[in-house]
């Protein structure tokens, strides 16, 4: 056992002894606290007030929070309480709270949760404080908080013990407050545009809506294997068939894939579908949605991410896969991109896997992912994807080798995927068959054949466009977070030893 663990065990033993003594005197964890004030709101209301003005107002406050700082100075002491809105200083003395309670306070520890009632005032140094005339211990903290100067330095511990991270790190609290604000802005924007928020199943009999490896579970009552949702797409399009013409879902998806700074096996997306739109309409809408949410959340459409500017205020660039390769990778020529043999050899040379899917479009996409994607820093729509890599998207009426699809890239990563939906049931059935053949050939991420979805399309789905936005990645951008785990309250980690 390390010296640090021995010290912690000793401190915990001392705190447990204090708790035992508290239990012997009465209720150890009272449940009748009803604070009427918050630290942040008190600061908003009184920070600009003069010391003499506060003395004349005699404003009474009742606050509760975690004790983060404590200074005992004979007959008077100071403590700093932290609640959900911030921190405020408490001043107490033996005459105000009574000798017995003051003696108890001196035994309380950092991390304890206490309540205080008293008069709002300012110290001679101008710090807003509460002169407590009542103070009570509400919750005894048995574990000591991390050292206030070093905080929670180990990043994995911050992810694993997010509750401590939130206590100790104001920046972490701000990240998740901003995430909540951004999600609310997304919802408000969607509803103002006439979209209906819906909920679709998370347990699927057939995984669908994306090319991904699913998690498998078993339903005992039905005696059947089921799959955690990899995407809500096929259910949302069933709702379009049913007559809901604009729907959206902010949903949790699960994909049994690798973990990285951009990937977590459980993640949040928003998918939305609009009848009588095409991918061009969806592109315009998505651009404005992200711009408005950025402004609502941060106050500006010009963001800073990892030291570089990301400008959402200007029109987003729009390029095809091959146009993007030629623009960002001038070592390639148009003639080379038309040569399948060259593309296969180049993909091999780069150490990437040559696609098993036939067609030059799949080769273009593989080369794009390997050479170009990471170079797309400012918002860029990559449009008109090859049909080989877009099994659910509608083929272009002008060029059946491409689909009416776009993906949005920023900061070198994908943020959104959208297309004019395929509403031809016979075309969709044929594409499902090809996906099933690819799965039989060993492609674990290929889609299953979904007969019920084909049946839904056979009833008729109006012309529709759909889009999926990676909420977690967008939150990384809005909060300037380098790792997806920074914007997930409880990211997945290996089991603790």
Domain match, 98 and 239 both: no
Looking at residue 74, its pLDDT comes to 86
Looking up residue 34, the CATH number of its domain turns out to be: 2.40.50.140
Of 87, 111, 145, the one marking the end of a domain is: 145
Whether residues 103 and 245 share a domain: the answer is: no
Check which CATH number belongs to the domain holding 416 and give it: 3.30.930.10
Determine, yes or no, domain membership for 150.
no
Percent of all residues in the chain with a pLDDT value above 70, rounded to a whole number:
98
Mapped onto helix, strand or coil, the DSSP state of residue 240 is helix
Residues 98 and 61 in one domain: yes
Ranges 4-13, 379-388, 390-399, 436-445: which has the least confidence:
436-445
- Model confidence at 30: pLDDT above 50: yes
pTM: 0.90
Same domain (yes/no): 100, 196: no
Please check whether residue 238 lies inside any domain of the structure: yes
Cβ contacts of residue 64 below 8 Å, gap of 6+?
Answer: 33, 35, 81, 83, 113, 114, 115, 116, 138
Of 31, 289, 107, the residue nearest 185 (C-alpha): 289
- Alpha-helical regions (H) of 197-350: 233-242, 279-298, 321-328, 334-337, 340-349
- Asked which of 88-102, 258-272, 333-347 is least confident by mean pLDDT, the reply is 258-272
What pLDDT is recorded for position 187? 98
Residues 6+ apart with CB under 8 A from 410: 310, 376, 377, 378, 379, 380, 477
Total tally of structural domains belonging to the chain: 2
Mark whether 124 and 172 lie in a shared domain: no
What pLDDT, on the 0 to 100 scale, is given for residue 149?
A: 47
Q: Is the pLDDT of residue 1 over 70?
A: no
pLDDT above 90 as % of the chain:
79
Co-location of 71 and 186 in the same domain: no
What does the pLDDT read at residue 389?
82
SS3 161: coil
User: How confident is residue 469, by pLDDT bands cut at 50, 70 and 90?
Assistant: very high
pLDDT tens digits, one per residue of 211-250: 788 899 999 999 999 999 999 999 999 999 999 999 999 9
Query: Which residues sit in the known binding site for Mg(2+)?
Result: 407, 414
User: On the CB side of 164, how many CA atoms lie within 13 Å of its CA?
Assistant: 18
- What range defines the domain where residue 276 resides? 167-316+378-486
Residue at a domain's end among 114, 145, 176: 145
**Are the C-beta atoms of 108 and 137 separated by less than 8 Å?**
yes
Token look-up 């048995």 returns 142
Per-residue pLDDT averaged across 353-378, rounded?
Answer: 92
Per residue in 132-162, pLDDT (tens digit) is 999 999 999 999 998 754 556 688 889 999 9
108-112, 184-188, 211-215, 462-466: range with lowest mean pLDDT: 211-215
336 located within any domain: no
> 190 and 135, same structural domain?
no
Residue 411: predicted pLDDT: 97
pLDDT (0 to 100) of residue 15: 96
Distance CA 490, CA 209 (A): 26
- Give residue 297's pLDDT: 98
User: Does 283 share its domain with 419?
Assistant: yes
Taking 90 as the threshold, does the pLDDT of residue 375 lie above it? yes
Task: Please give the mean pLDDT across all residues of the chain.
Answer: 93
More confident residue, 439 or 375: 375
Binding site, by residue number, is 407, 414
């Amino acid at each position: 056992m390390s010296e640090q663990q021995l010290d912690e065990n000793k401190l915990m033993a001392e705190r447990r002894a204090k708790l035992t003594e508290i239990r012997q005197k009465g209720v150890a964890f009272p449940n009748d606290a009803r604070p009427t004030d918050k630290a942040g709101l008190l600061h908003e209301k009184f920070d600009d007030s003069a010391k003499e003005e506060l003395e004349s107002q005699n404003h009474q406050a009742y606050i509760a929070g975690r004790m983060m700082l404590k200074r005992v100075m004979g007959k008077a002491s100071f403590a700093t309480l932290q609640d959900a809105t911030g921190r405020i200083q408490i001043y107490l003395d033996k005459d105000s709270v009574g000798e017995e309670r003051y003696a108890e306070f001196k035994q309380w520890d950092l991390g304890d949760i206490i309540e205080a009632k008293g008069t709002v005032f300012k110290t001679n140094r101008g710090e807003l404080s509460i002169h407590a005339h009542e103070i009570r211990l509400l919750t005894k903290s048995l574990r000591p908080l991390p050292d206030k100067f070093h905080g929670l330095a180990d990043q994995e511990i911050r992810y694993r013990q997010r509750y401590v991270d939130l206590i100790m790190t104001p920046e972490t609290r701000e990240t998740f407050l901003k995430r909540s604000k951004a999600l609310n802005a997304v919802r408000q924007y969607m509803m103002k545009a006439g979209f209906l928020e819906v909920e679709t199943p998370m347990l699927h009999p057939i995984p669908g809506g994306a090319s991904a490896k699913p998690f498998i579970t078993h339903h005992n009552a039905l005696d059947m294997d089921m799959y955690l949702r990899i995407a809500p797409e096929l259910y949302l399009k069933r709702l379009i068939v049913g007559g809901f013409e604009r729907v959206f879902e902010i949903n949790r998806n699960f994909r049994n894939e690798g973990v990285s700074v951009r990937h977590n096996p459980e993640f949040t997306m928003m998918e939305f579908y609009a009848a009588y739109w095409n991918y061009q309409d969806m592109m315009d809408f998505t651009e404005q949605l992200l711009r408005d949410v950025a402004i609502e959340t941060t106050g500006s459409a010009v963001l800073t991410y990892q030291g570089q500017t990301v400008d959402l205020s200007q029109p987003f660039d729009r390029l095809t896969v091959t146009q993007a390769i030629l623009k960002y990778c001038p070592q390639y020529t148009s003639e080379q991109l038309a040569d399948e043999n060259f593309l296969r050899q180049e993909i091999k040379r780069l150490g990437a896997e040559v696609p098993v899917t036939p067609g030059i479009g799949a080769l273009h996409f593989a080369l794009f992912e390997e050479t170009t994607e990471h170079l797309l820093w400012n918002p860029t729509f990559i449009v008109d994807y090859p049909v080989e890599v877009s099994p659910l998207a509608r083929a272009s009426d002008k060029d059946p080798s491409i689909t009416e699809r776009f993906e949005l890239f920023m900061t070198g990563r994908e943020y959104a995927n959208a297309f004019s939906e395929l509403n031809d049931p016979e075309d969709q059935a044929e594409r499902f068959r090809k996906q099933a053949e690819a799965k039989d050939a060993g492609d674990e991420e290929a889609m299953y054949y979904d007969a019920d979805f084909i049946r839904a399309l056979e009833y008729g789905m109006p012309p529709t466009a759909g889009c999926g936005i990676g909420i977690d990645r967008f939150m990384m951008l809005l909060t300037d977070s380098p790792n997806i785990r920074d914007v997930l309250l409880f990211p997945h980690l290996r089991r603790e030893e």
